[in-house]
Chain A
Amino acid sequence: MAVRDYIRERFMPHIWCAGCGHGIVMNNLIRAIEVLGLKKNDIVMVSGIGCSARISGYLDFHTLHTLHGRALAFATGVKLGRPDLHIIVPMGDGDATAIGGNHFIHAARRNIDITAVIMNNHIYGMTGGQYSPLSVYGRMATTAPFGNIDQAFDIVGLAQSAGASFVARTTSYHATSMIKIFQKAITHKGFSVVEVLSQCPTYYGRKNRLGDAVEMMEFFKKNTTPLGSAAKEKNPDLIERGIFVQEDRPEYCAEYKKIIKKAMGEQ
């Protein structure tokens, strides 16, 4: 199927600014789904609020555009209702780590078979450039006019310690490996988290004089390194990308099926 067949053209043009990294993420998500050969009727995309959350409406799946931060809670209901469907949840900084942080760690803890794609652009884009829990210390934002004094979350570390059984990081620059990671994440049985470093040239870039979209993507190229590379030993400031966790652990819906068996046996 052509990539275009996955898109609801009625929804176009999209709302993203020129140079935004989210379009690259959407593009690669479609390509991963196409390679996997999944049926459109078997995919539910659940999203919250923010620039990233708009992906759901643009794609021709069952789509549920919900409340800020709550996408994973809605998705949990959908998944338990229809465990056979693939649930993909595109999220931004706020959905995943601020207002939705609690739902994120609990979905990870349950290891429910949902794929969370977290587009980390270090800022709240839709509301116009306020700092987020993923903004780097010292960076500027409209609500941090003197520099951000909050420390940023490490999504990979957070997801890992909360219990996600698949955790990966990539960037909008690394499109080809992103497709492969998405494929693995979607087919993984359990809670899978993919952090994608994504550029927001309009707010994060401009506020912090990081250049245009191309320069911001160049930054991802130069300042990241594959997991376990020798470069990381020489330069500890490099951000690692790759698959950090990929484990076979009891999945929530499968565990719940056992509960039903037990309960019915005990009757």
Chain B
Amino acid sequence: MNKKTLFLQGNEVCVEAALYAGLDFFAGYPITPSTEIVEHLASRLPQKGGCFIQMEDEIASMCAIIGASLTGMKAMTATSGPGFSLMQEAIGYAVMAEIPCVIVNVQRGGPSTGMPTSVSQGDVMQARWGTHGDHAIITLTASNHQDVFAMTVEAFNLAETYRTPVILLLDEVVGHMREKLLMPEPAEIPLIERLHTSVKEGTDYHPYLPREDGRLPMSDFGGVHRYNVTGLVHDMWGFPTNNPKIAHGLMRHIVDKIENRVSEITRVKEYFLDDAEGILLSYGSSARSALHVVKNRRKSGERLGLLELQTLWPFPAELVRERCAHAKYVLVVELNMGQILQEVKKAVDDPSKVFLANKVDGTFITPTDIRNVIRLILGKGV
């Protein structure tokens, strides 16, 4: 064992990964089941000279990380269901003003106060469409601690690359579960740092004029370039405008910079897909139960495979269509009423072969639950 082995809760892994990624600033408000993130950062962040603040609510937390990000800091907040709802307006602001930041939502049972200590994956669509208005968003998820680490770092990297808020959707099972983590060595996972403008003092800097490659170099508040940041539709200077041409250009830019790069943003894991007749498609903690089923049934010769999504948004529709093209059936395993199911149905050539194995009662979906649905699909009965 060369690497440092740790035995941690998923929420603690998220903290370690955020620090690895270079987190400078955290603002949050405690809420189950994400509280361990807030608690651990309260001690870990000042230890490396970073800033931790417990704000008066989740709205303020989200706003504070945007403010901190504008001074050049890597910033993050963490919450669960109700807190995620409160953050939505400011998430939209970060989309519009193109502010890099990371929002962790450790999902719990909803709607409303729901089941605070129970598992759910009910916020998938809220991550996509929670804030008002047309927009694009990046959302990542993970099913085990090694991947929680990798996806947390990835969230920071993508936030910096695309100047956008990135949502990391964990869930109660992954967040609270304790499991092994092999701590990556420094520099083992590449980090993407903020792209700063090369424009010198005295020369006009256009904070919202994308380069050829779509990226927007930033200038930190307090630096030599003074500019305006607003949630209003704005021109290349950051000044508000109602000019339809500029408004259209801005809308296209904030959507296209993400939707045109689906393949670059997509992270998936594939298990036994090559000859799979039945494909389970899952993500987050429920992918663990799905993988359990796949590996077990493979032992008895059943040709099952698993497509595990780590990027939920932008939805990798082309990849899903292609991987599922030859399957006799696709079974989406998720802890909600079928939020990713609908996306899969839209993506595949034959939506009638897509089924749902789910659970929405706060308990975790078991391999038996999934096997029963497979038997029903195959006409074998439970």
Contact residues of A with B, CB < 8 Å?
8, 10-11, 40-42, 44, 46, 56-57, 60-67, 70, 73-82, 84-85, 102-103, 106, 256, 259-260, 262-264, 266-267
Contacts and interface: CB of A to CB of B under 8 A. Distances in A.
Contacts of A11: 239
Contacts of A267: 47
Given A41-B224, A74-B67, A77-B63, 13 more contacts: A40-B226, A41-B226, A73-B60, A73-B64, A74-B64, A74-B66, A76-B27, A77-B67, A81-B67, A81-B69, A85-B221, A259-B46, A260-B46
B71 A81 contact: yes
A262 B45 CA distance: 12
B40 to A, nearest CB: 13
A208 B225 CA distance: 45
B55 A44 contact: no
Nearest to B27: A77
B8 interface: no
Contacts of B237: 10
Contact of A78 (B47, B53, B70, B240): B70
Q: Which of B70, B72, B231 has the most CB of A within 10 A?
A: B70
Interface in B49-107: 49, 51, 53, 55-57, 59-61, 63-73, 75, 89-90, 93
B374 to A, nearest CB: 47
A171 to B, nearest CB: 29
B30 to A, nearest CB: 15
B229 interface: yes
B222 A85 contact: yes
A63 B227 CA distance: 6
Contacts of B60: 70, 73, 76, 102-103, 106
Contact of B229 (A64, A77, A80): A64
Contacts of A103: 56, 60
Interface residues of B, number: 44
A260 B25 CA distance: 13
Nearest to B50: A260
A80 B239 CA distance: 26
Q: Dominant SS at the B interface?
A: mixed
A113 to B, nearest CB: 14
A75 B53 CA distance: 13
Nearest to A69: B59
Given A67-B90, A106-B60, A73 B67 contact: yes
A82 B25 contact: no
Given A76-B53, A80-B25, A263-B46, A63 B226 contact: yes
B59 A73 contact: yes
B43 interface: yes
Nearest to A10: B239
Q: Which of B24, B46, B68, B240 has the most CB of A within 10 A?
A: B46
* The 6 A-B residue pairs with the shortest CB-CB distance in the complex, in nearest-first order: A77-B67, A81-B71, A77-B64, A263-B46, A73-B63, A73-B60
A81 B228 contact: no
